[in-house]
Chains A and B, each alone.
Chain A
Amino acid sequence: MPDPVNGGVAAPVVAIAGAEKVYPNGTRALAPVDLEVRRGEFLTLLGPSGCGKTTLLNLVAGLIAPSAGTLRWWGGDLSATGGQGRQFAFVFQAPTLMPWARVAANVRLPLDLAGIERAAATRGAAAALDLVGLTEFAQHYPRELSGGMQMRASIARALATSPDLLLMDEPFGALDEFTRQRLDIELATLWAARSLTVVFVTHSIYEAVFLSTRVAVMGPRPGRVVADVPIDEPFPRGDAFRVSTAFARYCQRLSALVAEAGAGTLRDPAIVTP
């Protein structure tokens, strides 16, 4: 089904149709999934451990190939759209910084690898560091930074390329609650300011509600998407949103969905609208 305007406004950023993943040892990590990532949205994959969130994210990133089904990026396959200069960026669970390189050198790595000219790469890295508020730590080594600051450096590295699609795999999972909440607010602000398209993985219901425009609830054995919940709340979202009744209602609904998915009562993908 070739898109007439390949990569045009009509095409979703990622269109997943019946994609599943079975590993060579027979483990069924992901049952067939249909999911669209639309331009400018903050989509969160929410679910307990072992429900295929990371597998789905890796499929979206093109890091692994589906066993069956198709994925289309900007209406085409990855080699074609990748050739059009579309940029992915990935933020991992750990900061994954090169310990031997200063923060600035870490942030400019994707630009260097892409063969961007030196001066432009330096400017790009400085701008990205400014976005996450790490300008004064540019010449530090990663080990001299706190966990939260390392994560911010990791996000700066992802933003340095001005990615068309930002993929984040439980980026704040290892941080303490206070740091995590602060970084959530910063991320929401960045998302709004830079009109990013984000696919975010988490097992925290609160984080999912706080950040997302849409939450895909996933269930285990085998991993599958069981519900698709839009979070229709205005941005910017701040600490006031965390204590609002709307926030509490969304959390309740999502935790009920996660519980049902775990108990296996929700067999088929269902669209739940608020």
Chain B
Amino acid sequence: MISNDAPSRALRIAAPALIAVLLLAAWQGLVVGYDVPTYIVPSPWIVLHTLITDRALLADALAVTLGIALTALAIATVVGTLVALLFVQSRWIEMSLFPYAVLLQVTPIVAIAPLIIIWVKDTRIALILCAVVVAIFPIIANTTLGLRSVDHGLLNLFRMCRASRWQVLLRLRIPGALPYFFGGLRIASGLALIGAVVAEFVAGTGGQGAGLAYQILLAGMQLNIPRLFAALFLIAAAGIALFAATMWLSHAVLSRWHESEAAAPG
């Protein structure tokens, strides 16, 4: 650590909270002071009010979006890990398939989403697919890197003990790849949500299964700006919650042995 006076735990929560309070106060003050109309910028107070009055509608929408994002994240995690395991079986497999993983990554989801939505009848499945396409790359890339980054000495040791390929994978490669995997998962959690929101924008489905993105779209058209802000707030909060959950998971699994998660000893 560079600085000796590392910020305490309390300060680490208090400092950003203070910034938030200051920003909200400034926002409230400016909107009220300059008499900005609500249909251009609503005050934080009105946004909070909308969050409460529209809670049934917004909660349903949040559940839909979160459901899509979480399902997509789960699928991306499982499929991405399997692909990474496949990649490390041979350089040939990786060489042949990796460009397509990159292709998936570099093609903007907005461009593929209409196709997926046309091809897949069930909109919910189409949305999940879009989010998977966005979220899967960091899982594949990081896990592959982790599975390959084996300590050379340990690999020699396993070879000297005449360990089978399976033993090397299970006892050496997979545990060693965990820090990389969690790094990928952290990025993927945010991307899954982004993928879900973007796909929903493209699909523009209303009615029963409408998510937060559709609420934003609709509120924009109706000039219901407070609801637009409220939905935006919920998307951001969901993203932060997802990120925090993966951080917590990573800490729970790695904290005993990995430097990135462990407090300085002694």
Contacts and interface: CB of A to CB of B under 8 A. Distances in A.
Interface of A: 61, 63, 82, 88-90, 92, 94, 96, 98-101, 109-110, 112-114, 141-144
Which 10 residue pairs are nearest across A and B when measured between Cβ atoms? Answer: A96-B153, A113-B161, A100-B175, A99-B257, A100-B257, A113-B163, A92-B153, A110-B161, A141-B257, A90-B160
Contacts of B162: 82, 113-114
6 contacts: A88-B160, A90-B157, A96-B151, A101-B175, A113-B161, A141-B257
Contacts, number: 53
Given A61-B160, A63-B156, A110-B161, A143 B265 contact: yes
Given A63-B156, A92-B153, A100-B178, A114 B161 contact: yes
Given A142-B257, A143-B257, 16 more contacts: A90-B160, A92-B156, A98-B171, A98-B172, A98-B176, A100-B175, A100-B178, A101-B175, A109-B157, A109-B171, A113-B161, A113-B171, A114-B162, A141-B256, A141-B257, A144-B265
Contacts of B172: 98
Nearest to B262: A143
B36 interface: no
A113 to B, nearest CB: 4
Contacts of A92: 153, 156-157
Query: Chain B: interface residue count, which band?
Result: 20 to 34
A142 B176 CA distance: 14
B48 to A, nearest CB: 45
B167 interface: yes
A109 B167 CA distance: 11
Contacts of B163: 113
A113 B172 CA distance: 12
A90 B161 CA distance: 10
A113 B257 contact: no
A143 B257 CA distance: 7
B98 interface: no
A113 B256 contact: no
Contacts of A141: 256-257
A82 B162 CA distance: 10
Interface in B148-181: 151, 153-154, 156-163, 167, 171-172, 175-176, 178
Nearest to B160: A90
B129 to A, nearest CB: 34
A184 to B, nearest CB: 22
Contact of B154 (A63, A88, A96, A114): A96
B259 to A, nearest CB: 7
B258 interface: yes
Contacts of B256: 141
A63 B158 CA distance: 12
Contacts of A113: 158, 161-163, 167, 171
A141 B255 CA distance: 11
Contacts of B265: 143-144
Contacts of B161: 109-110, 113-114
A143 B264 CA distance: 10
A94 B154 CA distance: 10
Contact of A99 (B157, B159, B171, B258): B258
A94 B160 contact: no
Contacts of B158: 113
Contacts of B178: 100
